[in-house]
Structure 1
Amino acid sequence: MVSDYDYSDDPACDEYLASHSPEDIIEGFTNAIAPSTYEEFLQSAIYAMKHCIAIVEQSGNRYYSFGEEELNSLLAGLMMGQSFSASTEKNRRGKIDITIEYGDFSWLVEAKLGKTNNYIFEGLLQILTRYATSEPDFGLLVYFQDKAPLTKFNKWCDYIDNEDWKKYSEKKEILEEVLDYIPKGECKSIESDNQMLAQRQMTTSHGSSINIQYLGVNLYHNPLDDSGRTGKGKNVFHAKQTVQNEYLAYQENADCDVDKLMRALGVIFEQSKDFNKM
């Protein structure tokens, strides 16, 4: 469940504009452009990332089939256009997907395709047990390429808050250790105009408290108009997504829809030159 966040301290939100004087508003935006404290940096970095995500989402017809590395490079490039230094695969106890920097400040971001909650959870474990030490904040970016991204984002928040991760951790024989890293709590929304941006407090293997910012990206693109229905590339991509989803469901001992799987394989084989030559 995503609970409320106080927007009145964020110069990017309408609540801030309504409750502050013109002088405070100017100062707030100056801090966002040229942050002088870590808090100002983080606030402006999240706001800039939200803007970059919106650019990618608005061009979802171009990027819906991109992989993790391609999407990370795209967002890092866009962040550089927002006056930040941004890089991919920078080493910090392992290869960090995206590193955002401004002066001496940095915000690290791990990215995962939103295949299943268990798959996203592996990204969270990377943050808590591999990368993070004394960082006060860390981003977890999730690319949703399947239908109903908002529903999937909320289910991810519930997966953590309702402790559904315990079943997966027990299966992987890591539950006893992971219990130390994820205290009981709730996701908190951190943007009034973005429904896939939330924050959750956790603990790193270093023993320090850390805020994990969840950032969802809507890459679902499946137009059903006449020209959309006949798009071969789009249809094959979604068929592959279906095959992947059914296989992951099978792996996790969930119900597998064999009819849906067969229809998806049919779409893939129909577009396969090698299959047609057999």
Structure 2
Amino acid sequence: MAQRPSMTRNDREGPIITVEGLKNSFGTQVVHENLDLQVRRGEILGVVGGSGTGKSVLMRSIIGLQTPDAGTIRVFGDADTDEEGEDAIAVRKRWGVLFQGGALFSTLTVAENIQVPLREFYPRMDPVLMAEIAAYKVMMTGLPADAGPKYPSELSGGMKKRAGLARALALDPELLFLDEPTAGLDPIGAAAFDELTRSLQRTMGLTVFLITHDLDTLYAICDRVAVLADKRVIAVGTIPELLRLDHPWIQDYFNGPRGRAATAAVKRHEGATNSTQVTG
């Protein structure tokens, strides 16, 4: 079982997430072996990797839903995110999670879904205040005001993602985990979600751990990208830094047809922005 050290002053001042020597396996299948990763405070870190590299398993390990075989994990410099003590609960209040597809409770309305973390951690909260918080989170994530009383089955795919994001933000977290947030969205909807993510990150001072396969998302909003391959994180850096590496998967991913298209789109956008600034 992974050993999780207690918090120190250096931990509070250092990376918001530190993973060292992580090992995850399922039976005889080893998913991670000696995996190291640091997430800096205030950044949007994109996490990419091929199918089966354990991107979601890594996230679940960090938030305590997966118990590693070995390694150390610290979040906010603290430990024991998979335990039930008061310290672990206090840590969980400081993050929010958007799972794949939104993972909304189908029998609850959007407003009731948003209230789930509030009811879990603050069961004595005034119901009126709880409803006001839910309404504010609906507005914050760009949902229409009348989305609150609707059920997930009444929402489009993009609206479900935003409702899931609203629930993840219910407790005003410092750290946000997003698992494939733009999967299944059309290009316009995905771009709008990317813009929302960046806007919220800036206004709320969030650190974002973002699992994605969307190259447009990586180029548009990620400060750095961590690449999972060979059962570990093989590289972390900006996209230009990663492009200088000769690892086959990295080159195939970023320099393949879709990668070249994403690069060209970013350059066109930057050129249009610079042109507007000059002529304006």
Q: TM-score with structure 1 length normalisation?
A: 0.30
More helix by share: 1
Q: TM-score with structure 2 length normalisation?
A: 0.30
